[in-house]
Chain A
Amino acid sequence: MNELFIAVNMVLESASLIAITVGVFAGIIIGALPGLGSILGITMALPLTFVLPKEASIALLLALYCGSVYGGSIAAILINTPGTPQSAATLFDGHPMAKKGRADLALGWATTASFAGGVISTIILAAAAPLLASFGLRFGPVEYFALGLFALTCIVSVARENIIKGVLAGLFGLFAAVVGQDPLTGDIRFDFNSFELSAGIGLVPFLVGLFALSEVFWRLSEKHSGQNIVIRAGFKIPSFSELRQRFSVMIKSTLIGTWVGALPGIGATAASMVSYAEAKRSSPNSSRFGTGEPDGIIASESANNAVTGGALVPTLSLGIPGDPITAVMLGALVIQGVTPGPRLFTERPDIVYFIFLTLFAANFAMFIFGALLAPIFSRILRIPEQLLMPCIIVLVALGIYSINVDPFDLLVVFVSGIVGFVLRYNGFPLAPVVIGFVLSPLIEQSLRQGLILTDESFLQFFTHPIALVLFIATALFLVWPAVRKYVKRKRSAKILEIV
């Protein structure tokens, strides 16, 4: 208890409070700008941690992390481009809702859902860190393969009108991710003798090109005379009754996010996709998904913010980062002389409590800043396109170039932008491309690792209980729409008979 008291004092110190405030504020802006993501924000702040006191450094990084994950949703809703990859699933319903003129409510839902996801996952992190971490360990290659396959089924749900085109787009995404080094043999695939291509296609430039740049191209190609749909700027917290109605989606998405976050190596992007797919499957408003359904925004935002707490579970208790962002966080903590691992909880409980409390505070700051900043951001939509579009191009180019200082990344952005445009033009949905691209390495690697472990026997995969459950869930998910249709038809036939 004494340590908790020390930790509270550490948080209440002015340096920590300033760090949290600045971190969340900067995080939201960085997250909202397409192409500048959590990793960029945290890495940009890393040099600062060399001069700041330990507590302030840790607080700054955690606050940046929370703020940037939330900030991504603002861009997803307002300009149809996820500010960070984690918010890709927010796009599906967030933007349609904004287009209907309810940008304020969409932002309100995203903020509320993010806040709930963040706070609840922090509580879970604090309560169950060692417990959850040991469950994460039971996931071996076979289990990961089954999980990846399950996550892939959300392609079906996001490709609404045209499943064939959706699946094709998904396959394209799966394929685009295999360029570069073979993860098992080390061979270089599809590099066309280009050294740069042998490193593979980077997720961030690919996503930014596919969404942000293709959006710019798309708007250029549309010949509309500057008459934007006037969207009411503002921020509206959903009413209590609405909140109560959708409370279960929020809780479920938070749990999915925390759980997926605790599994090493999957990350918030996949978490929000899985959560979105699950919400679409089980929600009573399922048919309205993709047209601006609040449940869709909640599913995505609660889950990706819950990942912040979840991903810190293995990071803190085992020293194993849950995603690339926590990998950077892990390094940053080591710089501060705090070595995460099983012993951290016994050796430095004050630091552990401090981290929990900081996350808590950061989530509150996020809610406040979200409410204050959202109206300003929603004005972005009122900026004439002739100004906004070039701004997006400049921001995107700057953001991407600053990550690796590699001009090749800019080429990737440009080419993916054209690819995205061509796909859109021909009626292919873009979301399945991302889903395929994100899940491809996980699925390929875990499948092939699993096959090495089982002596090339795929049947043995079904003897792993966790994997079996996931396989069955995948099958049910794929068959469910057909079954429901069949049942419905039968039922209506019966009714006809009775009549």
Chain B
Amino acid sequence: MTKKISQISAKFFITLVLIFLSGSAIAGDFPSKPITVIVPFPAGGSTDIMARSISVELTDYFGKNVVVSNTGGGAGTVGLASIARIRKDGYTIGIVPAAPLVNQPHMRKTPYDHNSFDYICQVFSSAYGLAVKPNSPFSTLNGLVDYAKVHPNELTYGSPGPGSLPHLAMEQFLEKFDLKIKHVPFTGDGPGVTALLGNHVDMYLMPTSVVVEKEVKAVAVFSEDRVDSLPDLPTAKEQGYDITASWWGGIIGPKGIPEKVKERLSAACVEASKSKRLKNALNKLGSEMQYLDPVNFKAQVESVSETNGRLIKKLLLTK
């Protein structure tokens, strides 16, 4: 008899818990529990630090904990795959850089593509600068291009890996101005920039923050306007080469988050983009705050994905 009563009360209790849980998922009072942010790179990298700074803003806005969880591996694809298949209640979102979103699906079989996500907002963007090795004879982009025109396949450029944003940006640059410079891929900016510092490659397209931090010689910044941290470095455009390239990213979620929840997340993002503290944190990492709303962020992803997909096919990076 007592057994039966305890069984019934257990069932009752479970039902109560279930009702409570499902109730908490109703969009109106979003968020009613901590939000998890998936970062597709290991702890400690620039993406991770950036995501943690953004999470702090979101925590303040929602008054609920926003917890960062790192899922590294496969150049960011493992993390993106898990964002794509996670519960679509908005309680798990991702803060991601563009590469695994716009490049990787063209290179390998990923269980997602750029249509698998809902776009909340773009948060950051940092321009790339073209750095040259310490004993390089070049001090302007013109000088470098002129030399490369006469000596095809003699100069070399390093990149953090095949199919990375700077690799494709360089290839776009070479294609546009009909140049031939050999590509030497490294595994990440760490070893790549070291090789440049050791004069083993001639040039390297790196975030301007790295140019500042490592005090390397640069010949151009690939952005519309000069960057604050390097006021004396002319843009490629100023030197007659119309090209821009940047490292950018933002907040995404699995496709199919309820509209109301998405609005709440977007609103939080707008608020975060106004934060002085976040701006400082981003600047410290050499990045700029660059907010884009869901529609424009999505459009940006689509357009870059198309360009890079074409370049990747051309470079035969894919089978």
A176-194: CB near B (< 8 Å → 1, else 0) gives 0000111111111001010
Interface status of B21 (Cβ within 8 A of chain A): no
For chain B, give the interface size range: 35 or more
- Residue of chain B at shortest CB distance from A341: B213
- Residue of chain B at shortest CB distance from A141: B200
One of A140, A342, A449 near B198 (C-beta < 8 A): A140
- B278 CB → nearest A CB, Å: 14
- B24 CB → nearest A CB, Å: 23
- Supposing A43-B43, A195-B110, A314-B194 touch, asked if A187 and B317 sit within 8 A by C-beta, the answer is yes
Interface status of A330 (Cβ within 8 A of chain B): yes
Contact A334 B109 (CB under 8 A): no
- A46 CB → nearest B CB, Å: 5
B49: A residues at CB distance < 8 A: 331, 334-335
A394-407: CB near B (< 8 Å → 1, else 0) gives 00000000001110
| Alpha-carbon distance A265/B137, docked complex (angstroms) | 29
Q: Which of B27-35, B64-72, B261-269, B297-305 contacts A (4 or more CB under 8 A)?
A: B64-72
Interface status of B294 (Cβ within 8 A of chain A): no
A198: B residues at CB distance < 8 A: 74, 77, 108-109
One of A327, A342, A404, A441 near B44 (C-beta < 8 A): A327
Interface status of B63 (Cβ within 8 A of chain A): no
Interface status of B163 (Cβ within 8 A of chain A): yes
A291: B residues at CB distance < 8 A: none
One of B163, B184, B215 near A449 (C-beta < 8 A): B184
Q: What number of A-B contacts does a CB cutoff of 8 Å give?
A: 148
Q: Could you tell me which A residues sit within 8 Å of B by CB distance?
A: 39, 42-43, 46, 50, 136-141, 180-188, 191, 193, 195-196, 198-200, 202, 264-265, 314, 318-321, 327-332, 334-335, 337, 339, 341-343, 404-406, 441, 445, 449, 452-453
- Residue of chain A at shortest CB distance from B103: A186
| Alpha-carbon distance A139/B197, docked complex (angstroms) | 10
One of B43, B194, B284, B285 near A328 (C-beta < 8 A): B43
Contact B74 A141 (CB under 8 A): no
Interface status of B48 (Cβ within 8 A of chain A): yes
Q: Which of B1-9, B11-19, B185-193, B227-235 contacts A (4 or more CB under 8 A)?
A: B185-193
One of B45, B107, B109 near A186 (C-beta < 8 A): B107
Contact B45 A195 (CB under 8 A): no
One of B163, B185, B194 near A318 (C-beta < 8 A): B194
Interface status of B25 (Cβ within 8 A of chain A): no
Contact A140 B200 (CB under 8 A): yes
Contact A404 B72 (CB under 8 A): yes
| Alpha-carbon distance A242/B280, docked complex (angstroms) | 57
A332: B residues at CB distance < 8 A: 44
26 contacts between A and B (CB under 8 A): A43-B70, A136-B194, A137-B194, A137-B197, A141-B195, A181-B74, A184-B162, A184-B185, A185-B317, A186-B161, A187-B317, A195-B74, A195-B110, A202-B73, A318-B197, A328-B42, A328-B44, A331-B43, A331-B45, A331-B48, A334-B285, A339-B213, A343-B215, A452-B184, A453-B156, A453-B184
Q: A181-B74, A182-B162 are in contact. List 18 more A-B contacts (CB 8 A).
A: A43-B44, A46-B43, A137-B194, A139-B198, A183-B162, A184-B185, A187-B319, A188-B107, A198-B77, A320-B193, A321-B190, A327-B190, A331-B43, A332-B44, A337-B284, A404-B78, A445-B187, A452-B182
Contact B44 A46 (CB under 8 A): yes
- Residue of chain A at shortest CB distance from B319: A187
A188: B residues at CB distance < 8 A: 107-109, 319
- Supposing A138-B198, A140-B200, A265-B190 touch, asked if A342 and B214 sit within 8 A by C-beta, the answer is yes
Contact A330 B73 (CB under 8 A): no
B109: A residues at CB distance < 8 A: 188, 191, 193, 195, 198
- B285 CB → nearest A CB, Å: 8
- Supposing A199-B74, A319-B214, A404-B72 touch, asked if A140 and B187 sit within 8 A by C-beta, the answer is no
| Alpha-carbon distance A242/B301, docked complex (angstroms) | 66
| Alpha-carbon distance A339/B194, docked complex (angstroms) | 17
A43: B residues at CB distance < 8 A: 42-44, 70
B190: A residues at CB distance < 8 A: 264-265, 320-321, 327
Choose among B42, B110, B284 the residue with the greatest number of A CB atoms under 10 Å from its CB: B42
| Alpha-carbon distance A139/B108, docked complex (angstroms) | 32
